[in-house]
Amino acid sequence: MADVKTSQDLDAELVRRVQRGDSAAFDLLVRKYQHRVVALIGRYVHDWSECQDIAQDTFLRAYRALGNFRGDAQFSTWLHRIAVNTAKNHLVAHKRRPPGEDIDIDDAEQFESALRLRDNDTPERELMRQEMEQTVMRAVEALPEELRTAITLREVDGLSYEEIAERMACPIGTVRSRIFRARDAIDAQLRPLLDAPAARERAIR
């Protein structure tokens, strides 16, 4: 078992690949952390659609800053700080007051409370993460074409609502509606997976 890599080892390897110009490696980091980042942002911003937009901004900021990442902290902690700052900046920009205290960066249990997961991976948690990724992919594939196109242009290609509206030749309001419906459908597929660990915890108690 000596050759088994920890979650932190895998993160560090992916970061090095991104720094060498492998953008696909960053996609893997996004897939691994996107749900945890949204859960964290949700403790500052309660609107689901806003959380998704702030998460997108968080990963864009992280990607641009990754060249300066030296590994002094774990990638998850570094990403956590970016997510918190991005959420607080969003609130300030919209003239809303951020929480008085930041969520403790070292509190991994709170960091992943919405997923009931922790950074110290176990085979069960890694299996659940893979199952969640597959569920998301199946949910996206099952969407009607106009919803699938809108959510892909937003989440994968990182286009703005204006750019998507132009690409799809429809009003921005229609784009927002399609993305909201796509996210809602994906969330409906994920919810049973997210609720299952909580149910097991209650049964144990």
SS (H, E, C) 151-199: HHHHHCCCCCHHHHHHHHCCCHHHHHHHHHHHHHHHHHHHHHHHHHHHH
Confidence (pLDDT) at 110: 40
- What is the spatial distance between Cα 21 and Cα 169, in angstroms, rounded to a whole number? 33
Confidence (pLDDT) at 120: 45
Confidence (pLDDT) at 40: 82
Domain with CATH 1.10.10.10 in the chain: 122-205
CATH code of the region 1-121: 1.10.1740.10
**Can you name the CATH fold of 122-205?**
Arc Repressor Mutant, subunit A (1.10.10)
Confidence (pLDDT) at 109: 35
Confidence (pLDDT) at 123: 64
- What is the spatial distance between Cα 81 and Cα 111, in angstroms, rounded to a whole number? 11
Q: Is the pTM of this model over 0.75?
A: no
Mention every residue, 6+ apart, whose C-beta is less than 8 A from residue 194. Answer: 114, 115, 116
Confidence (pLDDT) at 125: 61
Ramachandran sector of residue 98 (left: φ over 0; alpha: ψ -120 to 50; beta: rest):
beta
Mention every residue, 6+ apart, whose C-beta is less than 8 A from residue 15. Answer: 25, 29, 66, 69, 71, 75
Confidence (pLDDT) at 46: 75
Confidence (pLDDT) at 8: 80
Confidence (pLDDT) at 202: 46
**What does each of the 205 residues of the chain score in pLDDT, given as a tens digit?**
444 467 788 888 999 999 998 888 888 888 888 888 887 888 788 777 788 889 989 999 999 999 888 888 889 889 998 998 999 888 888 777 655 444 444 343 344 444 444 444 556 666 776 777 778 778 888 889 999 889 888 876 677 888 899 999 999 889 989 988 888 888 888 888 766 654 444 444 4
For residue 111, give Cα distances in angstroms to 59, 99, 167: 16, 16, 36
Domain with CATH 1.10.1740.10 in the chain: 1-121
Query: Is the CB of residue 79 less than 8 Å from the CB of residue 61?
Result: no
Tell which residue, 52, 28, 30, 27, has the closest CA to residue 41.
52
**Residue range 35-87, pLDDT digits in tens:** 888 878 887 887 777 888 899 899 999 999 998 888 888 898 899 989 989 99
